[in-house]
Amino acid sequence: MRIRRYAAIIVTYLMFGVSVLSVQGQVTAIKAGRLVDPDTGTAARNQVILIENGKITAVGSGLAIPAGAKVVDLSRMTVLPGLFDCHSHLCTTVPESNRDLFTADMKQSSAYRAILGTANAKAMLESGFTTVRDVGNAGLYIDTSLRNAIDQQIIPGPTIINAGRIIAPFGGQYHLQPERRDLGQPEYLYADTRDEMRKAIRENVHFGARVIKIVVDDQPYIYSVDDIKFIVQEAANAGVKVAAHCMTEQGAKNAAEGGVASIEHGFRMSDEALTLAKRNNVVLVGTDFTLAAAGYLGLPPDIAKQFHDVFIDRLRRAYKIGVTMAFGTDTFFAVAGEDRGTLAVSFIDSFVEAGIPAKDTLKIMTTNAAKLLGVEKQRGAIKAGQFADIIATPENPLENIQTLKKVSFVMKTGKIIRSTDK
């Protein structure tokens, strides 16, 4: 038995080793007409980026291109780091025919949701999102399997930081019937006592979660500051951060005081709650719904408008107060003529409408997000030592952020995903 296990490990190692060897030594040189550094909000002309074994080895003007290198000519384009979406649900797509999340979760098999995840991951990557934080609603760890399949290069997709099952007070985000209490499973891990919270975190981490997602306040009973502090500490002990879904003012205040890494949505946050988040270095992942996206939720037009206006107002105030923000979309619905990637990038419209300067929006979509996800040393910048997650646009996004909707070149970990106009 033991011998067979070792044999399996050796075979896996050999297979992985071969796939690494096949790309080893090949140098790729990207000629960038303009290279944007989102961290500083600057662009440099005529830069060369050298890439080997999936990583950037050198960046500069007038760099010698080694003989035999594969040259990618983007000299008429603007080149920048890949984008981040910090709030996705790749393994959930609610159909247009019925926008109810509960029903979709009930009706779709895990196999079908894995296929949805595969298609959504590919679409996100093709639109320029090279890293995604997936915050639950992925059945029984379908997200972990999706991440593994991408990491093993079985399918194309972004780097995924996944949450596993969402941890929440009893009921999660559903409204159950007493005789149908199991219908909430397996989407949510109910945790009301400290023991249940600790167990839920450990179970999640064991089954592959790289971040803990909690729902603070979708029931009349909400997680307290002490509950959240306990969860943050337990998660930290396991090496992961906490993302907190907050729909109410009190929920957001509890999360900010409890020291979570990020508040998701937070659309009811007052200036006071935003100031508290800023003081505690809590990042806001605002999922700022555009007017169109609010309509896609199935809301009547006047309600969709109100919903959207609340988001825009909170986005403006968060920017003014100076809360650190990271881009997140929460697009979990199917829309005819759009895919998950085009829908996600359309959320830029809210930032434009709120008057956020392009350089700040770009930072929110790259540098800030990389820090929140804890990958800033590996991804999110075009610098020597970083993985080559690189995209290109026809115009300079520092001048026209809308050009991010026209990403025409995508490279992830040194591999070209797309290089044609969309």
Q: Is 266 helix (H, G, I), strand (E, B) or coil?
A: coil
Least Cβ distance, residue 364 to Zn ion (angstroms): 17
Least Cβ distance, residue 265 to Zn ion (angstroms): 7
Between residues 52 and 330, which has the closer beta carbon with respect to Zn ion?
A: 330
**Where do we find the tokens 């919903």?**
307
Contact segment (CB under 5 A) with Zn ion among 30-38, 247-255, 277-285, 324-332 equals 324-332
Total Cβ atoms within 10 A of residue 215: 23
**Where do we find the tokens 């992985």?**
16
Between residues 215 and 256, which has the closer beta carbon with respect to Zn ion?
A: 215
Give residue 54's Cα distance to chain centre: 21
Between residues 85 and 330, which has the closer beta carbon with respect to Zn ion?
A: 330
Instruction: Tokens for 227, please give them.
Output: 């509950």
Rule CB under 5 A: say whether 52 interacts with Zn ion. Answer: no
Contact segment (CB under 5 A) with Zn ion among 250-258, 327-335, 364-372, 394-402 equals 327-335
Instruction: Tokens for 179, please give them.
Output: 């005789």
Site for Zn ion in 161-190 (CB under 5 A): none
Contact segment (CB under 5 A) with Zn ion among 121-129, 330-338, 360-368, 382-390 equals 330-338
Between residues 74 and 246, which has the closer beta carbon with respect to Zn ion?
A: 246
Sequence-distant (≥ 6) Cβ neighbours of residue 26 within 8 angstroms: 52, 70
Least Cβ distance, residue 286 to Zn ion (angstroms): 12
Contact segment (CB under 5 A) with Zn ion among 4-12, 179-187, 292-300, 326-334 equals 326-334
Between residues 292 and 297, which has the closer beta carbon with respect to Zn ion?
A: 297
Least Cβ distance, residue 166 to Zn ion (angstroms): 9
**What is the maximal distance between C-alpha atoms in the chain?**
71
Between residues 289 and 387, which has the closer beta carbon with respect to Zn ion?
A: 289
Least Cβ distance, residue 218 to Zn ion (angstroms): 11
Least Cβ distance, residue 331 to Zn ion (angstroms): 9
Angle of the 225-237 helix axis to the 194-206 helix axis, nearest 10: 30
Cα Rg of the chain (Å, integer): 22
Least Cβ distance, residue 53 to Zn ion (angstroms): 35
Bridge partners of 415, per DSSP, are 412
Would you say 372 and 86 are in contact if contact means Cβ atoms under 8 Å apart? yes
Contact residue for Zn ion among 126, 134, 218, 330 (CB under 5 A): 330
Least Cβ distance, residue 282 to Zn ion (angstroms): 17
Dist CA 41 CA 128 (whole Å)? 19
Contact segment (CB under 5 A) with Zn ion among 143-151, 319-327, 329-337, 408-416 equals 329-337
Dist CA 94 CA 101 (whole Å)? 6
> What single-letter DSSP state applies at residue 170?
T
Total Cβ atoms within 10 A of residue 271: 12
110 — phi, psi (to 5°)?
Answer: -60, -40
**Site residues (vs Zn ion, CB under 5 A):** 330
